[in-house]
A and B are shown apart, each in its own frame.
Chain A
Amino acid sequence: MNRPGDNDDADAQLLAALSEEARRLAAADAAELPRPGAWHRLEQRRAEPRRRGLRRWATGLAVAAASAAVVFGLQGWRSGRALTFDVGGGAIVESGYIRGAANAGAPVQFSDGTRIDLAAGARMSVVTPGPHGARLRLEEGAAHFSVMHLPHAAWSVEAGPYLVEVTGTVFDVRWSSADEVVEVRLRSGSVQVSGPLLSEHATLRPGQHLTAHLATRELRIDENAGSELAPALSVPPPAAAPPEKTAPSAATAPSAATPPPAPTPVEARPSAEAPPPAVARPPAPARAVRKPARAVASLDAQALADWAPQRWSARVSAGDAKGVVAEAVAHGIDATVADADGAALVALADAARYAGRSYLAERVLRAQRTRFPGTPAAGAAAFFLGRMADDRGAAADGLDWYRRYLTEEPHGAYAAEALGREMIGVARLSGRPAARALALEYLRRFPDGTYLLHARAIVQSP
């Protein structure tokens, strides 16, 4: 006859065995999690309005909104709505994405009086407009911002990997994805800038000018940015802005009490302040005299002395990816991309990927394709560009690159992975039936491939 304690022990052993197996399976299942691009999908979800909450409380909100409209009047109700904006200057607007004309600036006037003047050729997205501000993303080029200083104002501007947070202020931002350069020039008020090379956010004072060169890991904050001796803007503008076009300064920005004027970019009055860069004046000479600057981060001096791209491949294999990147940066990315031979570029692209320098990796991979078209390295570059696009959530771009790779290198070293990823991408974007042919091809060509189970599941889908 068993004693109670014996039963407890036996129970514990049963449950321990099952729990241990559960742990083992969980570890196996979650080994590859989170999936590539999960961060970007999280970011997209954060940018979305809270749909589920709205759905759950839709009825209550409708009643509350109707009551509020009756009690407080229409104006009170409107104050909780997201800001609206008008775009002038012949710019193209599509779902918050604003593409300025190639040869003229484009003013963007928000309903709270905030005004943004995009330089010629600049592109910007209004990602999340809210009742007290908006999240903006400067996709390319320069823009002048006159943000109204209102209670609870909440504006932010993303420029590449940098984030500029503002309340009420006048400032300019320029971002060049090709050169990996961001510039922020503060006219009045204050802004906080955060991003790579900044261990903490930097708070800029009026007159200060922050320039970050990601490729060379150089970040400077200059004083007296409004003076003529201020550093020249090193980012070539997308297109030369007509000199007569001037963005409005804070003095010309409409107040909250008066309705904002209709955007009139060509007729805008000259500013009393120092002109904003690129929007207001032609770019200064490429190498103007620089005022003393506060260097916040700079490249490794040791790396300057070393330039041996023939050793890069071996160094990357030995795990010195960061050292290879530092050497290339010290030499100058432009010069490296132009001078290094094919093998060195392959090694540098690998090093940049391993070091997490995705911008640099993409640039080098594109250079590989431009300089050595038709080679296996150029084909491999297409595959890696696809994988990088995939990882940052740009599934359609990823598919495009995988297809290019499979066209150029149908039997290349990455053919199995490219086909597998293409199959999964198509299934995700267009549904499993659309991916069926790819799955069958995968099963035929790579019966022992790593995407075998995915392919089978797709083929067996109804």
Chain B
Amino acid sequence: MALTSFRVIRGVPAQESKEPTDAAIAEALRRGERQAELEAWNRFSPGAAQTLRRLLGPGPDREDLLQEVFLRFYKRIRTLREPAAVRSFLFGICLRVVRGEIANRTRGRWLRLTPTGETPDTAVPGPDVEARDTIARYYALLDRLGAGERSIFVARTIERLTLAEVAEAHGVSISTAQRRLARASKRLAALVRSDPALMRFATGDHS
């Protein structure tokens, strides 16, 4: 399975250069070649960082989660059956790491003032303040879906995987994925409709 949304954003396509292919890097990792670890990082980490950002939503840089993804990736690469599917494999890890993070965050709300339990630094404001605020509200609503439905919805609509890819990444059948996606969409739409700011933004009424 090749994920079109999980692209290389650095370097040039493998067929136009002497760079090793994704599959070659995966094979080298499975052989335990240490040099391949750095190669894999350089090749896949920008895409993984983007994926994490899309799955998590706006907020501070979570390098710790990216590290967690790659720690698991290096540890489990030997279980990868098809080297050419290394990006899907990595995406699956991203999904699981984010699901764990969302679950921790939900539990953390009951126990601590912040997700980490530490006083946060003042956030560095970025451009598009209004858009960021809106999208932060959108992700807050997403968090109100169950972890499973949230993951499926984000993978399909924000990460833009095909339904088959979503199903495979979540270990469910296509029909199950479709059913959960429909349920999540309906619930989320109802939540969005109850938020005037989100409705204004979604309908293009910025006045």
Contact present for B53 and A163 (CB under 8 Å): no
Q: Is the C-beta of B46 less than 8 angstroms from some C-beta in chain A?
A: yes
Q: A21-B201, A29-B53, A33-B50 are in contact. Are A15 and B71 (CB under 8 A)?
A: no
- Asked if residues A42 and B70 are in contact (CB atoms below 8 Å), the reply is yes
Question: Does B124 touch A at the CB level, under 8 Å?
Answer: yes
Alpha-carbon distance between A14 and B157 when the two chains are bound, in angstroms = 12
Chain A residue nearest in CB terms to B42: A39
A201 touches B33 (CB 8 A): yes
Q: What residues of chain A lie closer than 8 Å to B54, measured between beta carbons?
A: 22-23, 26
Stretch at the interface among A123-131, A168-176, A449-457: A449-457
- B188 lies within 8 A of A15 (CB): yes
Say whether B88 faces chain A, with CB atoms less than 8 Å apart: no
Which stretch in B77-85, B107-115, B133-141, B164-172 binds the other chain?
Answer: B133-141
Chain B nearest Cβ from A204, distance in angstroms: 16
Q: Does A18 lie at the interface of the complex (its beta carbon under 8 Å from any beta carbon of B)?
A: yes
The interface size of chain A toward B, counting residues with CB under 8 Å, comes to 43
Which residues A222-253 have CB closer than 8 A to chain B? none
Contact of A457 among B123, B138, B201, B204 (CB under 8 A): B123
Q: Which of B50, B70, B131, B203 contacts A14 (CB 8 A)?
A: B203
Tell whether B30 is near chain A: CB-to-CB under 8 Å. Answer: no
- Alpha-carbon distance between A46 and B198 when the two chains are bound, in angstroms: 42
Interface positions, chain B 43-75, Cβ under 8 Å from A, are 45-46, 49-50, 52-54, 57-58, 61, 63, 66-67, 70-71, 74
Q: Residue B125 contacts which of A11, A30, A457 (CB distance < 8 angstroms)?
A: A457
A55 on interface, CB distance cutoff 8 Å: no
Contact of B58 with A29 in the complex, beta carbons under 8 Å: yes
User: With A19-B158, A38-B66 given, is the CB distance from A25 to B41 under 8 Å?
Assistant: no
A163: chain B residues at CB < 8 Å are 34-35
Instruction: Flag if B122 contacts A45 (CB, 8 Å).
Output: no
Flag A37-64 by CB within 8 Å of B: 1 or 0 each: 0110110011000000000000000000
Q: Is B28 interfacial (CB-CB < 8 Å)?
A: yes
Chain B: interface residue total (CB-CB under 8 A): 53
A158's nearest neighbour on chain B, judged by CB, is B34
Interface residues of A in 358-403 (CB under 8 A from B): none
User: Does A27 count as interface, using CB distance less than 8 angstroms?
Assistant: yes
How far in angstroms is the closest Cβ of chain A from B207? 16
A34 touches B (CB below 8 Å): yes
| Contact A30 to B49, CB < 8 A, known contacts A14-B192, A39-B38, A45-B71 | yes
A sample of 13 inter-chain contacts (CB < 8 A) reads: A15-B157, A15-B202, A19-B158, A23-B158, A28-B127, A29-B53, A34-B49, A38-B63, A39-B42, A41-B63, A195-B35, A453-B125, A457-B122
* A residues with CB within 8 A of B: 11-19, 21-23, 25-30, 33-35, 38-39, 41-42, 45-46, 163, 165, 194-196, 198, 200-201, 432, 453-454, 456-457, 460-462
Q: Which residues of B contact A (CB under 8 A)?
A: 28, 31, 33-35, 38, 41-42, 45-46, 49-50, 52-54, 57-58, 61, 63, 66-67, 70-71, 74, 121-128, 131-132, 134-135, 138-139, 157-158, 160, 185-186, 188-189, 192-193, 198-199, 201-204
